[in-house]
A and B are shown apart, each in its own frame.
Chain A
């Protein structure tokens, strides 16, 4: 192993401090007794208790969860289908353009995506509410799913599908009983990615949300504009905790599953 130089230690500490000091401060102040956010008055968990009796926050949390589940599921189905066409479709007219167009939303400014979706929903007369947020989130997170799934598909041995066809499967049956079980870990991690993106999103949601349906990020943002309350700190700490646990479990599980699958497949192919 290489010797740890003081330079490395310093850059590491600075980097992590830069990233995590704000979050740590937020978590600490969520346990503050005082109503004043910036003045420490002793340890207390009362803000967590108050949060649980705040109807508006709980409603927003419920909306966020529902939107996340629906939009990530839709995005996973569409994204997997797009990935299949991109990796398996062979050459067809406009393939490069199509591939580029699937990836483009990754770099598209969210404001533009949000605005264009808003205009679309108004044009077709769709009332803004949870449904429109679901559609909007599915739209932008679909490309993330297709990136994850297509990278898995590109290492997938196509003769497995041919073998399924040869043994009497229809194309759909072959996908369902051979391809899907094998790429399942990648599909699952695509779903988790889409779900996380949906939970986090503020910009697109605020364009497409209606008065009756407020997601948690919108709720937090609008409350902060009226002044930061320790309640928000408590809520943010809970979210940080959940996201940390979720991301860690998902990445560990999917890495393990993908590695195991690839080893199995490699061995099966010999």
Chain B
């Protein structure tokens, strides 16, 4: 971005969405795969559909590509109603999870496949293919067949082929699922880079929350055919609107109780006999006196041997287990009322100098704004 205003068309009333879902549902027989979805996706967005398998995210994407028709509601792309428009008549391209490279064609012919079916002159096609090869750095492999390429190279061919026709919208179905972890991380940045260079709107389907967090401008968390939350990665992480979202994105501690105080953004939760109430941010749809759950990320829970009297939120417990992850350790602390709370501590010292070990009595504490009080119900998965 050349200017300093952050890219956030979703906050701009005047922004025109590229894609709009209006009350879209999809039924397979009696099964409701997509349940009355309203969604706007803006030009140049990198939009992630995130959810467990079977949540409807792939169906939603296939409706954009034209492989599935909505049972109810309206989908518009670029202000055009997409009902009845077949995949080959849409300015939308898709990168398939299996890559779906044509095994009988070499890289160049794979890339030119879509271009040959548009009204483009032969010389223009060659130029465009060349440009695409450069974009994904595969010039040296132009004449190879798909089976002569590595997984990462095939992934790049698939991406280039989908981008070759310069679609308004690129759909990516679990694009990095087949790559190993290290390559996946590198490719995530490549994807973002290419998205920025080409200015194409990307919609990615993934079940990998880290991937979604890394690449996306906004994330839609789905469950059972419904959109549970649509927000920027940091807001989805810091301000989940339900226990489901809190549990799906990252790790979380959940403490159940009853709302004892609610004022503006502050909320307090009464949760166990003989303890002071937990203070946290007020989540949506909670009411004083109602049952609720407090959610706090393990890395926001501090561990100490001395009682941290300067903090309002502090509880005592006994270290039950320690998971050493190299860069950090997770301490599983059992509270007196039986709750198990995870605290994640960066290992800034060598392991032999660690002061806390199994069965030690410790204090856990967190700031007043570290956690959020959410309506109860919906289990974290």
| Closest B residue to A177 using CB positions | B113
B157 to chain A, nearest CB (A): 10
Contacts of A163 in B (CB 8 A): 94, 96, 100, 102, 161
Q: Mark A245-268, 1 if CB is under 8 A from B, else 0.
A: 000000000000000010111011
Instruction: Determine if B87 is an interface residue (Cβ-Cβ < 8 Å).
Output: yes
Number of interface residues of B (CB under 8 A): 31
Which residues of chain B in 73-125 are interfacial with respect to chain A, using CB atoms and an 8 Å cutoff?
86-88, 92-94, 96-104, 113-114, 117-118
Interchain CB contact under 8 A, A162 and B87: yes
A170 to chain B, nearest CB (A): 6
Which residues of chain B in 111-148 are interfacial with respect to chain A, using CB atoms and an 8 Å cutoff?
113-114, 117-118, 145-147
Cα distance, A178 to B97, chains bound together (Å): 18
Instruction: Determine if B358 is an interface residue (Cβ-Cβ < 8 Å).
Output: no
Instruction: Determine if B199 is an interface residue (Cβ-Cβ < 8 Å).
Output: no
Contacts of B147 in A (CB 8 A): 263-265, 267-268
Which residues of chain A in 148-186 are interfacial with respect to chain B, using CB atoms and an 8 Å cutoff?
157, 159-160, 162-170, 173, 177-178, 181-182
Contacts of A177 in B (CB 8 A): 113
Instruction: Determine if B52 is an interface residue (Cβ-Cβ < 8 Å).
Output: no
Contacts of A173 in B (CB 8 A): 117
| Closest A residue to B152 using CB positions | A270
A72 to chain B, nearest CB (A): 24
B117 to chain A, nearest CB (A): 4
Q: If A162-B67, A261-B103, A263-B147 touch, does A168 touch B154 (CB 8 Å cutoff)?
A: no
Cα distance, A269 to B65, chains bound together (Å): 20
Interchain CB contact under 8 A, A181 and B94: no
Q: Which of A159, A168, A178 has the most CB of B within 10 A?
A: A168
The interface residues of chain A, by DSSP majority, are classed as helix
Instruction: Determine if B151 is an interface residue (Cβ-Cβ < 8 Å).
Output: yes
Interchain CB contact under 8 A, A162 and B96: yes
Instruction: Determine if B183 is an interface residue (Cβ-Cβ < 8 Å).
Output: no
B92 to chain A, nearest CB (A): 8
Interchain CB contact under 8 A, B99 and A166: no
Contacts of B145 in A (CB 8 A): 264, 268
B60 to chain A, nearest CB (A): 16
Interchain CB contact under 8 A, A270 and B100: no
Cα distance, A198 to B103, chains bound together (Å): 34
Q: If A261-B103, A267-B147, A268-B103 touch, does A167 touch B165 (CB 8 Å cutoff)?
A: yes
Instruction: Determine if B178 is an interface residue (Cβ-Cβ < 8 Å).
Output: yes
| Closest B residue to A266 using CB positions | B147
B270 to chain A, nearest CB (A): 53
A207 to chain B, nearest CB (A): 42
Contacts of B101 in A (CB 8 A): 268
Interchain CB contact under 8 A, A165 and B87: yes
Interchain CB contact under 8 A, B117 and A169: yes
Q: If A159-B100, A160-B102, A166-B87 touch, does A264 touch B94 (CB 8 Å cutoff)?
A: no
Q: Mark B151-195, 1 if CB is under 8 A from A, else 0.
A: 100100000011001000000000000100000000000000000
Cα distance, A261 to B145, chains bound together (Å): 12
Interchain CB contact under 8 A, A268 and B146: yes
Contacts of B92 in A (CB 8 A): 166
Interchain CB contact under 8 A, B65 and A166: yes
Cα distance, A173 to B86, chains bound together (Å): 14
A93 to chain B, nearest CB (A): 15
Cα distance, A178 to B103, chains bound together (Å): 9
Q: If A162-B100, A268-B154, A270-B154 touch, does A167 touch B146 (CB 8 Å cutoff)?
A: no
| Closest A residue to B158 using CB positions | A163
B366 to chain A, nearest CB (A): 44
Cα distance, A91 to B154, chains bound together (Å): 33
Cα distance, A182 to B97, chains bound together (Å): 20
Q: Which of B100, B101, B145 has the most CB of A within 10 A?
A: B100
Interchain CB contact under 8 A, A168 and B96: no
Which one of A169, A170, A181, A268 lies within 8 Å of B99 (CB-CB)? Answer: A268
Which residues of chain B in 26-71 are interfacial with respect to chain A, using CB atoms and an 8 Å cutoff?
65-67
Q: If A157-B98, A167-B114, A173-B117 touch, does A182 touch B88 (CB 8 Å cutoff)?
A: no
Interchain CB contact under 8 A, B103 and A182: yes
Interchain CB contact under 8 A, A166 and B94: yes
A230 to chain B, nearest CB (A): 50
| Closest A residue to B154 using CB positions | A270
Contacts of A159 in B (CB 8 A): 96-98, 100
Interchain CB contact under 8 A, B93 and A167: yes
Closest 9 CB pairs of A and B: A167-B114, A267-B147, A168-B117, A268-B146, A163-B100, A159-B100, A264-B103, A268-B103, A264-B147
Instruction: Give B residues with C-beta under 8 Å from A.
Output: 65-67, 86-88, 92-94, 96-104, 113-114, 117-118, 145-147, 151, 154, 161-162, 165, 178
Instruction: Give A residues with C-beta under 8 Å from B.
Output: 157, 159-160, 162-170, 173, 177-178, 181-182, 261, 263-265, 267-270
Given contacts A168-B117, A177-B113, A182-B103, 9 further A-B contacts (CB under 8 A): A159-B100, A160-B102, A162-B100, A164-B113, A166-B88, A182-B102, A265-B103, A267-B103, A270-B99
11 A/B residue pairs, CB under 8 Å, sorted by A:
A165-B86, A166-B87, A166-B94, A167-B88, A168-B88, A169-B88, A169-B117, A173-B117, A264-B146, A267-B147, A270-B99
